[in-house]
Each structure stands twice: as structure tokens, then as C-alpha cells.
Amino acid sequence: MSETRRTEAFSDGVLAIAITLLVLDLRVPVRGALEGSLAEALGHEWPTYAAYVTSFLLIGIIWVNHHAVFELLGAVDRIALFLNLLLLMTVAAIPFATSLFAEYLTAGGAAARTAALVYSGLFLLMSVTFALLYAYVARRPALLAASVDPVAMRASIVRFSVVGLALYSLTMVIAVFSAPATLVAHIVIALYYCFRQTRAVS
Amino acid sequence: MSETRRTEAFSDGVLAIAITLLVLDLRVPVRGALEGSLAEALGHEWPTYAAYVTSFLLIGIIWVNHHAVFELLGAVDRIALFLNLLLLMTVAAIPFATSLFAEYLTAGGAAARTAALVYSGLFLLMSVTFALLYAYVARRPALLAASVDPVAMRASIVRFSVVGLALYSLTMVIAVFSAPATLVAHIVIALYYCFRQTRAVS
Amino acid sequence: MSETRRTEAFSDGVLAIAITLLVLDLRVPVRGALEGSLAEALGHEWPTYAAYVTSFLLIGIIWVNHHAVFELLGAVDRIALFLNLLLLMTVAAIPFATSLFAEYLTAGGAAARTAALVYSGLFLLMSVTFALLYAYVARRPALLAASVDPVAMRASIVRFSVVGLALYSLTMVIAVFSAPATLVAHIVIALYYCFRQTRAVS
Amino acid sequence: MSETRRTEAFSDGVLAIAITLLVLDLRVPVRGALEGSLAEALGHEWPTYAAYVTSFLLIGIIWVNHHAVFELLGAVDRIALFLNLLLLMTVAAIPFATSLFAEYLTAGGAAARTAALVYSGLFLLMSVTFALLYAYVARRPALLAASVDPVAMRASIVRFSVVGLALYSLTMVIAVFSAPATLVAHIVIALYYCFRQTRAVS
């Protein structure tokens, strides 16, 4: 197995673990501390479920895009490995940002907006590291697979990077005004990517 | 490795992590807070152990069935990837539903039935997303492996989906009346699948 | 990839996760609640570190032996899959038993012995499911790899199973008398397997 | 798949899980217990974020070096398996040492230095087990891949081992005087390895 495939397998492992660790954000109401019915207590946790679904879809989309990029590569060098590690570092932190966002989504005021800014900011950071990785490898023909056209690859840098950077920057602006609207924006991004951007793959 | 195999490897990772995270539901009695003997405290946790065993077997069976479906595929498209992601999202939440069910199994009254409904509901949701994935790919000959007969595959949709949907719908009905009976029903389903439905594989 | 290799890859995933989740048993003393120095507080946690090392080595040995068995297989059937799932279920519970054992090791009296019995009992259960899996496949030539001699395989059942069953049964007896001695016994078993039993592999 | 590749795949799994479990050290401030703003509470957690980034990079570097070593191997024996297991045992404990270091980094006094010593000590122990593994396989031509020159390999033992051992020993000395300086030293080591030592790989 080449170093490229190994890097991809390691990245897949981190992505699979991060997406599954999201479940740790779903909390069981303590039996002795229930006020009202269990159904009410669970219903009260709706921000947690909404954040779980949103982050799960978004990490799933990162996985699809990560694969799409690594399919184009024939080699990786130390800078690419480091940029990939930075990308994984932001993805691995998503369960934390998700938990924070869910905890403060309904807190109102500055706390809710702070949590929304952290959540949006982490995804923006993720898309920045992803764009850096893409821009780095796309400019180095020696790292591309034999079947990839270096000119087309270089030309695709802006197109590949701009949508994610623009969308997540927009959620930062929304987060300044409203935490719930920020969550809705991320759900819209998730659905947009699921049904518009994902390439047909075989 | 084709995109189909990669999707399967990623799904295997999520399933392996979800099944192993079930252990986090097993709680160690706090040493200073013991009332009576440790053996009594552990015995008092029997719903946790029963739920652990049941969910472990059921996720194991989902893994077997997931493989059986992906063996029939030669390609995946964006809709199939999205449906598979929805399936994984329900499986990854099973440790939460298991913990909730174990916590309230012996609580009696509405709380126990609510927890049983959530547990059954999650498995029903899992079988719905699994049926959607199967129905989607089974109707698209372009996604099937070369050795698979498209006509037989299409004909198998109802047969593949109906057992799971019927069994987990039945547990929803049972959950309205009794939480312990709901657990027994899931154990029966697990044993049924282990010894009846699993194909001989090579 | 054959179903046998996939089962092995899934089992490897569960074993790798279970062995790494042992770290969750290592607890950081709460900063505000320190009595005396941090060094003393950490030193007080020595049973946790001893249990971590012991369980880590023992799961590592299970991984080595699991591979050794699957190398002999050319196919798996539904019973073998089910027995393997039971084996994984016991291994995935080891982080719980480790945490319990560490918590009560120095509690003295019946509680310490109960925790030691649970720890030993889980490893005995593991070796029982492992022996069942081995005995099942060793008696079915259709499941063996082409290069494996069915007669020699059948003859090896007792030899393969008896050491583990005997050693872990012995720790059950020791657990009735002393929890610390039970820990020492498991350390001795780990070192025995590491340096005596593990085959040279290539 | 040879036993060498399997050992590497298992090690990759443990490394991917350990690096992702670092996220569990990032704690969400409890909503009801906030004093001041959420932004202040998060800002107060800066040692946690610094420790997360540092440990993430360092485990990433261990992964790169681990691969570099296993690429040179054509076989593993029981001693190599055992030494690799000891290495994994130290890596799997890094999330614990990271959490401890972050908790006490700003505690000042002996507690901060104790936590820094544990953190540095674990990395030193990691580099000792890594050096032992390397020295063991480098002296055994039978374990090396066909393309590897046994004489050059043996000659590389000191060069491979001495940097890590020296750097982490130095952090032990620093830890005696200052916990924050110890964190800075580890960040410098991470950056040094990322940009100096990592080989170009293909």
C-alpha cells in the first residue's frame, strides 16, 4: 500500500471515529433528577438531536470530499501530510463544538451567539485547512496521479475552495445575530452538499 | 480500491466503533457511594448488561446485513451515499438509546415505556433507512455488480425489507404496554436473525 | 475481500477500539478537590495504572491469537460469525471490568474480591467463547484454508483451548481469596503469553 | 495480508483512535455554572486547546515515524510484536497525560510541575519503547524487507533513536522548572518534526 493510500486510510479512521463520537453528546436524563416526564426531558434536548444530525451529515460530506481529493493524488510529501493533519485536527474537534453549540443554543443572548460563533468558526477553520491542502497539492504535478491533468487541477483550486469558504464565512456572520439561524444555515449547507455537490462516484 | 469498497470500509469503521462504544454504558458503582455489597450494586445493574448484550448482537447483525447488501453493488452514487449516511447515523445513535433504555427499564410507568419507545423507534428508523437504501440500489441496474441479476434484485426488495420493518414495528406496539417485554422482544429478534436469517457466507 | 477477511478486519477494529478505550479508565484528579500533592493523588491511583497495563497486554495477546486462528480459515458460516460476535462482546467489555477492578482493588474485603471475580470471570468467559469458536471451526474442514490439515486441526482443539481455560479458571479461585493476588496472576498470564506462547510470525 | 501489514493496520487503528480521543479532553462549560460570559469561560480553557493541538501533532508524527519503520520490515516476531504493543500502550495513554497537563498547567507550584513531568515522562517512555523496537528489528536481517540494507539499517539505530530520546529527556529537565515552558518545548518539538524530520514520502 502506498503512503498516499495509508494516509487516506488513517484519515478515514479519524473521520469514522469523530463521526461516531458525536453520540457521546446525546445525554441520558438522570433518573433521579427528572422533573416532569421523561418524554418532556427528552423533548427539551432537541438542540442536541438537531446538532447531532447536522454535524453527522457535515462530517459525512467532509469524508466524501476528502476521498475525492485523495483519488487525484499519486504521492504525498511532508507538507501535504502536515496540512492533512491540521485538517483532521479540526474535524476531530467537531464533537466538542457540536456539544457546546447544543448546550447553549437555547441559552439566548451572548452565550448562544458565542457557541454559534465557535461552531461556525471551527467549520470555517476546517474549510481553510482543506483549501490549503487542496491548493498545495494542486500546484505540484509531482504529487498528482498519472491520470490527472495538472493544468485542469490548478484551474480548479478556486472553484473547489470558494464554496466552502464562502458558506462557512456566511454562517459566521449569521452567528453574530442568531444561534438558531446559524444551526439552520448549517443544515441548509449539509443538504446543499448532499444533493448538489457530491459527485456521482463509482 | 473502488468508491464502493471505501464506503463499505468507512461504514465498517462506524459500525465497529458504535458496537464498542456500548461498553461506555456499563457503569462502575462509585466506591464511596456503595449501599450494601458491590455484588448487590452490580446485580442492580442487570438492565444495563441485558441491554449491552442485546444491542451488541443487533449491531452485529446490522453489520452482517450491511455487508450482504454491499457485496451486490458495483457502484454507489450520491443518493446511495446519502442514504447510507442516514443508516449509519441511526446505528451510531444506538449506544445512546441503549443507555436510555437501561436507565429507565426498571423505572416503571410512563418513563419506562417512553425509553422503550425511543429504543424501538431508533431500530425502526434504522430498518427504514436500510430499506430505503436497499430499494434505491435494487432498482438501479447501473449500481449492481456484474454478477447480480437486476430482475431478481428488484424482486427481492419487499422480501429483504419487510421482516425488519415488521419486527421493529411490532416492538413499538409492545413498548406502549411494557418496557421489559420490549427488551425480550429485541432479544428474540437478535436470536432470530443470528440463527435463521444470516446467510452462510464464504 | 472475502467474508473471512472482512470478519477479521471488523474484529480487528473492535479489538483496536477496546484496547484504546482502556485509557478512559485513567482519571485526572480534579484540581479543586486535591488533598495533598498531585504526585500523592496520582500515586494513589496505582491500581488504575497496573490494571491498564495488564488489560492492554491481555487484549494485545487476544488480538495475536485471534489472527492466528483466522489465518487457518478459508470461510466462515453463520454459527462461526455468531461465536466470533460473542467473543468480541466479551473483549469489548474488558474496559468496564478493568475500571471496576481498579476502583475496588484496594477496597479490601468482599468488594475487592467481587471486583476480582468479575474481572477474572470476564476473561474466563472470553476464553470459553474463544474455545467454542476454535472447536467449531476446527471440526469443519469446509471452513479451513486449503493449506490446513483437517486432522491436525481437530487434534489441536484441546491443546489450543485448555491453557487459557485452565489459567483463567485458576484466577477465579485466586479471586475468592485475594484481589491483589488476582491482579498479579493476570500479569503473570500476560507475560507468559507474550514470551512463551506467541508464535513467530511472518 | 502478511502479519507485518496486519500489525501495522492494528497499530494504525490504535493511533487513529488515540488521536481522536483527545477531543474528550475538550470540556463544555456547564450552562448553569457559568460565571461571567461563555467567551471568558472558553478563554479560561486555553491550556486545554494548546495541549490538544500539541498532542494531536505529536501523535501524528508518531504515526508518520511508525509507518517509516514498518515499511522497512518484511516480518515480525513475538519480541517485535511485544515491543510494538508496549509502544502502543504509551501512545494510547497520551490522551490521559494531555488531560492531566491541561488541568494543572496553570495551577502553578509543584502540581503544575508534576503534571508537566508526567506528560514529558510519557513521551520519553514512548521514545524509549520506539527506540527498543527499532534497535531490535534493525539488528535482525531476517525481519527486514528484501530491499533494505542490513548494514545501513544497523548503522541507523543511534541516529533514529537519539533525537527523540534527547529531546524528550530535555523536556523532563524543563518540567522540573516550569510547566508552561514544558508545553512550549513540546510545541517546538512538534514543529521541528513536522518541518525538518519527516521524510518526503510517496
Please judge whether A39 and B110 are an interchain contact, meaning their C-beta atoms are less than 8 angstroms apart: yes
For residue D130, give its domain range.
3-197
Ranking C74-88, C128-142, C154-168, D49-63 by mean pLDDT, the lowest is C154-168
**Contact (CB<8Å) D38/A9:** no
C102-145 per-position pLDDT tens digit: 999 988 889 999 999 999 999 999 999 999 999 999 999 999 99
Domains contained in chain C, number: 1
pLDDT of D197 > 90? The answer is: no
Give yes or no for residue D1 having a pLDDT over 90: no
D202: in domain: no
**Would you call D10 and C12 a contact, using CB atoms and an 8 Å cutoff?**
yes
Looking up cell 495538472 gives A150
Above 50 in pLDDT, residue D201?
no
Query: Which residue of D lies nearest to C36 if distances are taken between CA atoms?
Result: D111
CA dist list (Å): D56 to A88, B41, C27, D48, D164: 9, 39, 20, 12, 17
pLDDT grade, residue D164 (50/70/90)?
confident
Lookup: cell for D106: 496553570
pLDDT band of C2, cuts 50, 70, 90: confident
Query: Is D123 a member of any domain?
Result: yes
To the nearest whole Å, the CA of D54 is away from the closest chain A CA by 10
How far is Cα C119 from Cα C95, in angstroms, rounded to an integer? 10
Residue of B nearest to C15 (CA): B20
Does residue B76 belong to the interface with chain A, where contact is any CB pair within 8 Å?
yes
> What is residue B37's DSSP assignment?
-
Question: What value does the mean pLDDT take over residues D125-137?
Answer: 95
Determine which of A125-129, B188-192, D127-131 has the lowest per-residue pLDDT on average: B188-192
The shortest CB-CB distance from C28 to any of D77, D81, D99 is to: D99
D42 contact residues in A (CB cutoff 8 A)? 100, 114, 118
With an 8 Å Cβ cutoff, are C201 and D104 in contact? no
Segment among B183-187, C151-155, D169-173 with least mean pLDDT: C151-155
**93-152 in chain D: CB under 8 A from chain A:** none
Q: How far apart are CA C137 and CA C79, in angstroms?
A: 9
Q: If contacts are CB pairs under 8 Å, which of residues 8-47 in chain D contact chain A? A: 12-13, 15-17, 19-24, 26, 28, 31, 34, 37-39, 42
Task: Return the percentage of chain D with pLDDT > 70, whole number.
Answer: 96
Q: C-alpha distances in angstroms, C22 versus B15, B169, C186?
A: 19, 37, 16
* Structure confidence at residue B109 as a pLDDT band (50, 70, 90): confident
CB < 8 Å to B82, chain A = 194-195, 198
Flag residues of chain A having pLDDT under 50. 197-202
Using CA atoms, how far residue C161 sits from C93, C151, C155, D125, in Å, is: 21, 17, 11, 35
Which residues of chain A neighbour B81 with C-beta distances below 8 Å? 60, 64, 198, 201
Distance from chain centroid for Cα D30? 31
Answer whether residue C202 is part of any domain.
no
Q: Which residues of A touch D12 (CB under 8 A)?
A: 6, 9-10, 13
d(C-alpha A89, C-alpha D190), whole Å: 14
pLDDT tens digits along A16-72: 999 999 999 999 998 888 888 999 999 999 999 999 999 999 999 999 899 889 989
- Which has more pLDDT, A69 or B32? A69
Summarize the confidence of residues B163-171 as an average pLDDT.
Answer: 93
Predicted local confidence at residue D187, as pLDDT:
95
- Continuous H helices in A71-146: 78-92, 94-104, 109-138
Cβ distance of A38 and B111 shorter than 8 Å: yes
CA distance to partner chain A, nearest, from residue B88 (Å): 9
Q: How confident is the model at residue B19 (pLDDT cuts 50, 70, 90)?
A: very high
The closest CB to that of B13, out of C13, C95, C114, belongs to: C13
Share of chain A above pLDDT 70, in %: 96
Residue B77 lies in a domain: yes
pLDDT category at B120 given cuts 50, 70, 90 is very high
A177 inside domain: yes
* Partner-chain residue, chosen from B14, B77, B114, that has the shortest CB–CB distance to A38: B114
Asked, for residue C135, whether it belongs to a domain, the answer is: yes
C9-50 pLDDT, tens digit per residue, is 999 999 999 999 999 999 999 888 888 899 999 999 999 999
How high is the pLDDT of residue D200? 38
| CA proximity to A91, closest of A127, A67, A49, A118 | A127
C-alpha span between A157 and A140 (Å, rounded): 12
Nearest by CB: D42 against A93, A95, A118 = A118
Is residue A202 assigned to a domain? no
Contacts of A82 in chain D (CB under 8 A): 194-195, 198
Name D187's Cβ contacts closer than 8 Å, sequence gap at least 6: D50, D53, D54, D57
Q: Helix, strand or coil for residue C144?
A: strand
Query: Per-residue confidence at B201, pLDDT binned at 50, 70, 90?
Result: very low
Name the band, by pLDDT with cuts 50, 70 and 90, for residue B111: very high
Q: Is residue B186 part of a domain?
A: yes
Nearest to A20 among B3, B18, B75 (CB): B18
Residue of A81, A88, A89 with shortest CB distance to D198? A81
* Chain C residues close to B52, C-beta within 8 Å: 89, 93
Query: What's the grid cell of residue D121?
Result: 515522562
